[in-house]
Amino acid sequence: MTEHFDAIVVGAGPAGNSAALVMARAGLSVLQIERGEYPGAKNVQGAILYANAVEQVIPDFRDSAPLERHIIEQRMWMLDDHAYVGSHFRSDTFNEQRPNRYTIIRAQFDKWFSGKVKEAGALLICETTVTGLLRDKKGKVIGVKVDRDDGEVTADVVVLADGVNALVGSRAGLRPELKPQEVALGVKETIFMPRETIDARFNLKGNEGVVIEAAGSITAGMTGTGFLYTNGDSLSVGIGCLISDFAKSQVRPYFLLERFKQHPAIAPLIAGGEPKEYAAHMLPEGGYNAVPQVHGDGWVMAGDAAQLLNAMHREGSNLAMTSGRLAAETIVAAKKEGKPMTAATLKAYRKALEDSFVLRDLKKYRRLPKILETNKHFFTDYPRLLTNAAETMLRVDGVPKRDKERAIMGSFRSTRKLRGLMTDLVKLGRAWR
């Protein structure tokens, strides 16, 4: 493996595929290296796909992509042990000709996406691990080392899109080691059931879908959330918490998932289903303040490897695809202008991220990760207080409503005190801004 390429892309997930596709279509010689048996081989879980990010690189993706359902309803729940309170948004407008969000099975989608990359002319090598970076005498990255005989490949630039572990960049000192409080461990299960059963339980027809996102006692006092996605003939059910919390609590992730599945709000939705797939994976949850240097001499970093995930809105694939595309567009522009792939040239990638929704959204919520990490009562006290308040007001038992209101306010004050309530309100207000 001694051939020289214009670019090497490490990883064949959303970020790596977007980068490789854009560069290959622009006529660059691109080598993409994936450690799995095939792109998506290590992904059995379902996920949400955001159409706008895909359209930027594959405008007609709906014609051939393996899409499960388009989402017409979003449910957001706060749960205690026995009940939930929350909101639903459902709109027939989402039955538009070009839906905005879809549920997908990552293994299928990544494989399809990779096919588009190969059609564009990129060379994909699977079952190959990048073990390190090649550098010249000045320290500029000039290629990669792989676990094959004579495994050194050179390139003008290397795109690191190898996921949240980002082992290549970490080992090379391009980014700091992951901090337990900035990474979540998520566990997911795919539960199969007849399509008509899913339609009946969620009031759906055709390819309509529902997403449920939940927080509260289901995470046993840890910072995290749960979810349920409807696929074609299966449900993706999962939960995740900060690794630092798992380490402190010694709670097993699978215990949390089972607890979530047995909650009175979730159990009826998955009853009778057949669990067939289980997966655990890490998610970057550090937000804006955890984003490392994303460019340097001869390299750029995209997607989860660059900690680009919006935990507030549970968005990841769109940030990954957009960052991969922006990295590729920066490289293509530099190539056309005959510029060397130096840090000075590639800083345009960081500027592009800052001008896009990617870093603008992460910057908006930059205080949120720390607030949620250090204020566990948002996951314990408030779900209980809110569900108890709803039950108190809805139970018709001859008690005057004014007395009920006093009791509710008394429970809030006794639990959080007036000063605590005001402080929490200010914290959340600042985090939202």
- The pLDDT tens digits of the residues spanning 211-241 come to 999 999 999 999 999 999 999 999 999 999 9
Domain assignment present for 23: yes
- Where residue 427 falls among pLDDT bands split at 50, 70, 90? confident
> Contact, 150 vs 3, CB < 8 A?
no
Asked if residue 114 has pLDDT above 70, the reply is yes
Residues 41 and 115 in one domain: yes
Residues 120 and 134 in one domain: yes
Asked if residue 278 has pLDDT above 90, the reply is no
Residues 136 and 243 in one domain: no
Residues 358 and 401 in one domain: no
What end-to-end distance do the CA atoms of the chain give, in Å?
Answer: 51
Closest CA to 328 of 358, 360, 290, 295: 295
Mean pLDDT across 229-258: 95
Total domains in the fold of the chain: 3
pLDDT of residue 144: 96
Asked if residue 37 has pLDDT above 90, the reply is no
Asked if residue 254 has pLDDT above 60, the reply is yes
Asked if residue 43 has pLDDT above 70, the reply is no
Phi, psi values for residue 148, rounded to 5°: -130, 160
Q: Of 255, 284, 313, at which residue does a domain stop?
A: 284
Phi, psi values for residue 244, rounded to 5°: -60, -35
How far is Cα 183 from Cα 242, in angstroms, rounded to an integer? Answer: 6
pLDDT of residue 66: 96
pLDDT of residue 2: 53
In the numeric block, which tokens belong to residue 285?
């949850």
Domain assignment present for 169: yes
Residues 160 and 14 in one domain: yes
CATH code for the domain of 190: 3.30.9.90
How far is Cα 213 from Cα 238, in angstroms, rounded to an integer? Answer: 10
How far is Cα 396 from Cα 393, in angstroms, rounded to an integer? Answer: 8
Domain assignment present for 80: no
How far is Cα 143 from Cα 5, in angstroms, rounded to an integer? Answer: 9
Residues 276 and 295 in one domain: no
- Where residue 430 falls among pLDDT bands split at 50, 70, 90? confident
Mean pLDDT across 85-91: 95
Residues in a beta bridge with 229: 211, 236
pLDDT of residue 143: 96
> Contact, 234 vs 222, CB < 8 A?
no
Residues 172 and 237 in one domain: no
Domain assignment present for 280: yes
Residues 347 and 373 in one domain: no
pLDDT of residue 67: 96
pLDDT of residue 433: 74
> Contact, 318 vs 292, CB < 8 A?
no
Residues 161 and 292 in one domain: yes
Domain assignment present for 85: no
**Residue 54 belongs to domain spanning:** 4-66+101-178+287-366
Residues 32 and 120 in one domain: yes
pLDDT of residue 432: 78
Q: Of 346, 366, 386, at which residue does a domain stop?
A: 366
pLDDT of residue 46: 66
Asked if residue 45 has pLDDT above 70, the reply is no
User: Which run of H or E residues covers position 152?
Assistant: strand 152-160
Residues 249 and 194 in one domain: yes
Residues 13 and 126 in one domain: yes
Domain assignment present for 74: no
Mean pLDDT across 291-304: 97
Mean pLDDT across 19-44: 89
Domain assignment present for 249: yes
Mean pLDDT across 56-69: 96
How far is Cα 294 from Cα 347, in angstroms, rounded to an integer? Answer: 9
pLDDT of residue 347: 97
pLDDT of residue 312: 87
Q: Of 366, 393, 412, at which residue does a domain stop?
A: 366
Average pLDDT, the chain: 94
Domain assignment present for 427: yes
> Contact, 364 vs 60, CB < 8 A?
no
* Cβ-proximal residues to 384 (8 Å cutoff; 6+ apart), any chain: 80, 217
In the numeric block, which tokens belong to residue 335?
């190539």
